Amino acid sequence: MEERPKNNRQQSKTDQTGTAPSGTVSADQYRRKRIRRVTQNFFLHIHSTRVHPHALKPTYTFGLGVMLGFLFLVMILTGVLLMLHYTPSVDAAYNSVKDIVHVVPGGRIIRNIHRLASNFMVLIVFLHLLRTFYTGSYSGGRQLNWVIGVVMFVVVLLMSFSGYLLPWDQLSYWAVTIGSNIAASARELTDLLGITRFADIGGFLQRLLIGGETVGQAALTRFFMLHVIFLPLTLLVLTGVHFWRIRKDGGLSRPNDEVTVKQEKLYSWPLVMWAELAILAGVLAVLVLLAFFVEAPLLEQANPSLPENPAKSPWYFLGIQELVSYSAFAGGLLVPVLFLYFLFSIPYRDREEEYIGQWFSGSKGLKVTWKAALMSLLVVVLQVFVMVRFGWLRDWFPGISQWFVLLFNPATISVLVFALYAVWVGRKSGSARMSAMALFTAAIVALILFTVIGIWFRGANWEFVAGG
């Protein structure tokens, strides 16, 4: 039988600090045996052997990273089960999905869980990005892991989008058609420059995505391979590197104040394991419960000659679709590329480490955040109000050059206003962190607003409606 410390007090002291009471042989033996178990524990190949108490605060991480890992695992397991009954052919895909729903035992629930997990992954990876930014967790040598996280954010979006086409129904067909048109949005610029015949960048991106000018078998094959092989493997590798970097960078971020620094670390095993199992149980409970009430949509079989009206992209791309309705190039290519460039550049422009581990960088940052959010709200709502009530440049000047439409629209104007506001905040505060918070907040609020407009306020022919 394994010897343990002589009393509970000694055990508690050994468990928390790893240092046995002086002269207590049994506690030393217990510690050596514990270390031996630790080195043979798979759980501790993922986590550090010790964890700082600050990382265990529920209101600091909300368990978002753990949720993402579990949702990814659920998607893999349910996806494998669905693959057993799915046929990636335009002639058979729709009927195979119908069989999954109506014939295969438990197929409806499995498909619902898979779809819910996919949507939750998109939502939670977005929230995880916000959490990481607003706690300054990209600083203190964590720049590379932030970049890896942004790449993972893009991969999660693409993985969800690639699965959207597989049911081959009207909803998925026309959503991907809209997505492919967004990919071809560079044509607006090349057409204006008169170089589309020689440098059709938009057409190249569209053909790369769907294998032609229209969605067909080539697109379904591409999306199937992306969804079941390439993107999951890419995300799996990135997840491994992401976890490794967390360990290498000293664990999760935390404040540099004297009180936090002096707090002694706790053993990860089994404390963190129980916390993660609780999150796993909660995630599974929510997914299974919702799967009985929230049906994964399946409309009529895809019909290329009968377009949906309005034809909408997946909900997480509707903000971009809204911007594309103002200008194809600005909304579909320019603004998304600038936003991604900004995300990648954040940790290299903001090198201030005094705010690490603090939500909103304290009261000063919180004030900057809500002011930027209010400014963004006013800018977006004002422009949309003008467009709905009075029209835009093409309505005011029917013969105006397309160059003016491309350069002056709600997408480009918003970017310009947000950038100037961020520069002003940076100069006023003398802080790159405050400037980054202003720009990040304004961009995120605008993205949410444009997405809300696309979901609930766009009707037939993409006309603005009161709601619905």
82 and 47 in a common domain: yes
Count CB atoms within 10 A of the CB of residue 103.
11
Q: Judge whether 351 lies within some domain.
A: no
Q: Judge contact between 451 and 318, C-beta under 8 A.
A: yes
101 and 215 in a common domain: yes
Q: Judge whether 374 lies within some domain.
A: yes
- pTM beyond 0.85: yes
Q: Judge whether 2 lies within some domain.
A: no
N- to C-terminal Cα distance for the chain? 67
Total domains, the chain: 3
What residue spans of 41-106 are helical by DSSP H?
Answer: 43-46, 58-61, 64-83, 93-102
Q: Judge whether 411 lies within some domain.
A: yes
49 and 32 in a common domain: no
Count CB atoms within 10 A of the CB of residue 367.
12
266 and 169 in a common domain: yes
From CA 36, how far away is CA 195, in angstroms rounded?
A: 67
From CA 392, how far away is CA 376, in angstroms rounded?
A: 20
pLDDT in tens, the chain (468 residues): 444 444 444 444 444 444 444 445 577 776 677 666 655 655 555 666 677 777 778 888 899 999 999 999 999 999 999 999 999 999 999 999 999 999 999 999 999 999 999 999 999 999 999 999 999 999 888 999 999 999 999 999 999 999 999 999 999 999 999 999 999 999 999 999 999 999 999 999 999 999 998 999 999 999 999 999 999 999 999 999 998 898 888 878 877 765 666 677 776 777 778 888 899 999 999 999 999 999 999 999 999 999 999 999 999 999 999 999 999 999 999 999 999 999 999 999 998 888 888 899 999 999 999 999 999 999 999 999 999 999 999 999 999 999 999 999 999 999 999 999 999 999 999 999 999 999 999 999 999 999 999 999 999 999 999 765
Q: Judge whether 265 lies within some domain.
A: yes
219 and 182 in a common domain: yes
Q: Judge whether 375 lies within some domain.
A: yes
193 and 47 in a common domain: yes
Q: Judge whether 365 lies within some domain.
A: yes
**23 is in which domain, residue-wise?**
8-40
Q: Judge whether 315 lies within some domain.
A: no
